[in-house]
């Protein structure tokens, strides 16, 4: 199996994990979605030099990871896929912001390095929270909750179709790559020039499949609206989950956890 196929299979495992029956999986999708949105908003609301204030927020993904009985290694692998984008965003910060902010012995840490580390921590927190939401909630329930929150119907429909048929297009790509490998000898046929017709072939296959899919949906009376049979209302446990974690996040947003961490660090440095 190629690396492309194995990565695709790992992403499919997230959908299988969402079918588990744990205390986190049983929480209403709307409660988990709103909690994750509040978490991401508060994490991204700090200034660019914030590092220590972000540390308490790691409690949320760790607790969900344990209670939902999810494989930490798989989640970490998927989180690290976003690392190159973070490097692209903040890799130049240490070169432009050279103002010393911290001193460790004879080593000065500049503001650019601190801001780059802050960007990486935000990425780690936000991507992990999003992956945990997907790994504990069926994707159609997430889309249904987005629709109830007032997200436009075309956007939600496109998001749901993208998730459902991304694997089909990826399998087409995997077959194209496998066919290319079987016809390549001693490295020939793997030059960048040969990828151009492959991309065109993949585009034509995708367009043909999209047309057949659209015709099938119209023949079944689809209007783009997401329908779920007997959607579960939010119960007391779901409301407690939402209010409880939201309250914890707002406490983290104050200076109380930061002062506690500073005092604990000062005790260890004595």
Q: What average pLDDT does this structure show over 175-199?
A: 73
Q: What's the whole-number average pLDDT of the chain?
A: 80
Q: What average pLDDT does this structure show over 32-44?
A: 95
Q: What average pLDDT does this structure show over 250-266?
A: 72
> Model pTM?
0.78
Sign of CA dihedral 48, 49, 53, 59: positive
DSSP bridge pairs for 109:
102
Angle of CA points 199, 200, 202, to nearest 5°: 65
* Maximum average pLDDT range among 17-26, 72-81, 200-209: 17-26
Give 10's pLDDT tier (boundaries 50, 70, 90): low
Convert 63-107 into a string of H (helix), E (strand) and C (coil): HHHHHCCCCHHHHHHHHHCCHHHHHHHHCCHHHHCCCEEEEECCE
For the chain, the maximum distance between any two Cα atoms, rounded to a whole number of angstroms, is 73
**Both structure tokens of 110:** 């500049």
- Over its C-alpha atoms, the chain yields an Rg (Å, rounded) of 23
**Both structure tokens of 86:** 């973070």
- 184-to-3, 58, 176, 197 alpha-carbon distances in Å: 18, 47, 12, 15
pLDDT of residue 132: 93
pLDDT of residue 37: 95
Q: What average pLDDT does this structure show over 83-110?
A: 71
What is the C-alpha separation between 162 and 253, in angstroms, rounded?
35
31 vs 223, which has greater pLDDT?
Answer: 31
* Eight-class DSSP state of 192: G
The answer to whether 39 and 62 are in contact (CB under 8 A) is no
1 vs 79, which has greater pLDDT?
Answer: 79
pLDDT of residue 1: 45
Residue whose pair of structure tokens reads 């993208």 in the numeric block? 162
**Both structure tokens of 97:** 């912001």
pLDDT of residue 201: 80
**Within the chain, how many helices (H) and strands (E) appear?**
12, 2
Lowest mean pLDDT among 10-14, 83-87, 140-144: 10-14
DSSP bridge pairs for 104:
107
pLDDT of residue 172: 78
Q: What is the DSSP string of 6-29?
A: HHHHHHHHHHHHTT--STTTTS-H
266 vs 213, which has greater pLDDT?
Answer: 213
Lowest mean pLDDT among 110-114, 193-197, 229-233: 229-233
Residue 33 makes CB contacts below 8 A (sequence gap 6+) with 133, 137, 142, 145, 146, 149
């Amino acid at each position: 199996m190629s690396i492309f196929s194995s990565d695709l299979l790992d992403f499919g495992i997230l959908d299988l994990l969402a079918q588990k029956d744990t205390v986190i999986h049983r929480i209403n999708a709307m409660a988990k979605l709103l909690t994750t949105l509040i978490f991401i908003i508060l994490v991204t609301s700090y200034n660019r030099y914030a590092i220590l204030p972000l540390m308490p927020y790691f409690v949320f993904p760790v607790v969900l990871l344990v209670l939902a009985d999810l494989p930490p290694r798989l989640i970490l692998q998927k989180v690290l896929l976003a690392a190159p984008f973070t490097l692209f965003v903040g890799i130049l910060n240490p070169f432009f912001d050279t103002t010393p902010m911290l001193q460790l012995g004879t080593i000065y840490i500049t503001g650019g390095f601190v801001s780059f580390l802050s960007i990486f921590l935000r990425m780690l927190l936000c991507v992990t929270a999003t992956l945990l939401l997907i790994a504990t909630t069926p994707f159609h329930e997430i889309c249904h909750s987005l629709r109830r929150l007032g997200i436009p119907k075309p956007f939600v429909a496109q998001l749901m179709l993208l998730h459902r048929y991304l694997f089909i297009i990826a399998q087409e790509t995997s077959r194209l790559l496998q066919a290319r490998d079987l016809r390549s000898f001693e490295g020939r046929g793997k030059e960048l020039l040969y990828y151009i017709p492959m991309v065109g072939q993949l585009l034509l296959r995708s367009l043909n499949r999209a047309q057949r899919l659209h015709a099938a949906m119209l023949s079944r009376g689809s209007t783009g609206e997401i329908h779920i049979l007997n959607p579960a209302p939010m119960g007391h446990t779901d409301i407690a989950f939402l209010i409880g974690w939201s309250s914890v996040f707002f406490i983290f947003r104050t200076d109380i956890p930061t002062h506690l961490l500073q005092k604990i660090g000062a005790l260890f440095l004595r």
